[in-house]
Structure 1
Amino acid sequence: MEIKNIYGLICVLIAMLNKSSSTILKRPKAGDPFDSFPKNFWEDFSSPFTEIPENEDGLLTESTTVHEPFPFFADFYTNMNVSAQIGTHVDLHCRVNDLQGKTVSWMRRKGDDLALLTIGKHVYSSDTKYSIEFLDPNDWKLNIKYISREDEGEYECQVSSHPPLILLINLHIIATKIEVLGETGSLYSDKYYKTGSTIELSCIISKTNDLNSIITWKHDLKFINFESLRGGISVKSESFSDHAVSRLYIANAKKQDSGNYTCMLNNESKATVTVHVLSGEYPAAMQHSGTIKYGMITVTLLLSFILFLAR
């Protein structure tokens, strides 16, 4: 019996040495020399070390705590700037990995106030310009239609984690500069032409990031039809690095060609000039806009001066 106990103690010492080198221990089986030890011996023996639970095979293994993955933004930034043109549509992207059942929401910030726009795949705002779309694998895209100046400001994408994740987007609105010039390149609100001459109007568009959009022309309230029976109507458009030009030509001008001519980009940004087609009145004014005004002013001043000398 003494030999049996000595043998058991030797095994315990070996077990202690093996424990420090992370060798997996087995509980004693029936018939082992130290099977006669009290049942709580192994629990006492493990103290003050961390208790190691058993698996299904009776092996003692170290326990590890597995933490739930935490959501994170796929992009490295949490603050970004986006620019959009008035009248266009803009997409705001929020890419979230390991969402783990959390909810993504879009909000509009105005000072200290937050207005809820979307929750998950549902639009909360009553404004129909907002829509939400999920793009695999992780993009919660907020779309804003028909951008106006009022849409400029801060937008937040929030993930309902603890603490919440917030992506801040600053939306900047670009106001297009659009002007209608005469053939001399001067800016006028009125243009005068002689019957039978060629009307030439130039539309200059700048301060825009949408130079490839179609530029359209209107005569009064109707879009100009370049294939109409009237004929003689043409347009030439060019795009440059910082501006675009659309030139409208109307050959053999007639009285009915008089009216307001409007150049438009995306049916939103526009500029208008009034064209007057005259039949012989003030022939000098038909070549250069504004000549009538300044000519009449000159005549008035000249008559005043003559009357002053005659006194």
Structure 2
Amino acid sequence: MFDQEAWRTRIAERLNGFARNPRQDIQLAGTSTVLAYLAVRTLEPFLDAFQQEPVAAVMTLAEIVKGAGADQIVRRASQMRFQVAQLIERELRTKPDLRVAMEQLIVTLNVLHLARQRLNSSRDEWLRLTLLHEIDTFGSNEFIQLRRLLHDPGWQSRYETIRSLRQRNGNYSAADLVLLHDGLSDSASHVRSAAARMLGHFAGTPPNPLVKALTKVALYDCDLETRYAAARTLGALRDRIASPQLIDHLGRCLGDDDSFVRSAAALILGQFGELAGTPTLIEQLTVMINDEDAYAREAAARTLGRIGMAAASGA
């Protein structure tokens, strides 16, 4: 059933190429501006759904935006499906009602958040400045919500604030820990990665909610480097955070259907070293050496090597 969550998920899938090479993906989409590109990627799932589930597609659109702009999208949906880039590029320039509708869709469906998720700091700032420049060509009374998001001081300041914690030498205050906890769920991967790395310098014992958030990043984050950063930090803190509950949870993740999660769980357990050397885990990791996924096999082998003598005697 096509709804806002399905729409958002399909937008995220279409933005995979943008994360790898933003400028190239803009060209491949047939657009010449960031604004038109984001509009195209936002509309594509709706246009597909309009062919398969027209009632659900129109109702979902109406939940987000009404008025002349929404009417234009529905009336042109069949035509747009095959030439969406050309039509959007042209009509964003000439139809104010369509601009209003597209802004509402981009904001409500969190398209900026989805686009930023895997960008490094330089590309993240490029996206912000380029989009600001493009919408500045329209009147100051247009794209007000987008301007507010793009001028949000939190766009860059959280990253810089997290980096400034180096000066604390690991002696973080409660407010610092809240900042790092929030950083782990930031929309930009370089912020999440920085928060994970900075936690590795913490001189105290992190509270359980922070350990859970860090573990979630290490297991499920969409960015590989961020997962690695979180796993290394869990390893740096292992003597203070390793618990039977955490290790059991990681053991269950070794059997996850997603090979990325299996690999990530093995990587974290490898950071725990001999603390992960229980007979059950050693048996699971030994089985995992025959995993269908090459990365999972390699992660299991490396982890058994890190566990060392416990693994050898267990075998």
What's the TM-score bracket when you normalise by the shorter of the two chains? under 0.3
TM-score after normalising by structure 2: 0.26
Return the structure number with greater helix share.
2
TM-score after normalising by structure 1: 0.26
Return the structure number with greater strand share.
1
Greater Cα radius of gyration, structure 1 or 2:
1
